[in-house]
Amino acid sequence: MTVAIGLDGFRNGWVAVEIAGRRRKIVFLSDIAELLERPFDRAGIDIPIGLPDSGDRSCDLAARALLRPHASRVFTGARRGLWEFRSQGEANRALKARGEKMASIQLWNLGPKIMQVDAAMTPRLQRRIVEVHPELVFWRLNGHRPLPAKTTEQGVALRRELLMTDGFTGLGDWLEHERIGKGAKVDDVLDACAVAIAARDGRHCLPEGRALKDARGLKMQIWY
pLDDT score, position 180: 56
**Which pTM does this prediction carry?**
0.93
Instruction: Specify the DSSP class assigned to residue 219.
Output: B
Higher pLDDT: 77 or 193? It is 193
- CA separation for the pair 80, 60 (Å, rounded): 15
pLDDT score, position 14: 96
Residue 201 has pLDDT above 70, yes or no: yes
Residues 6+ apart with CB under 8 A from 179: 15, 185, 186, 188, 189
Assess contact for 179 and 34: CB atoms under 8 A. Answer: no
pLDDT tens digits, 141-151: 999 998 999 99
pLDDT tens digits, 113-129: 999 999 999 999 999 99
Buried b or exposed e, range 112-144, using 16+ CB within 10 angstroms: ebbbbbbebbeeeebeebbbbbbbbbbbbbeee
Report domain extents, the chain: 3-223
Q: How confident is the model at residue 179 (pLDDT cuts 50, 70, 90)?
A: low
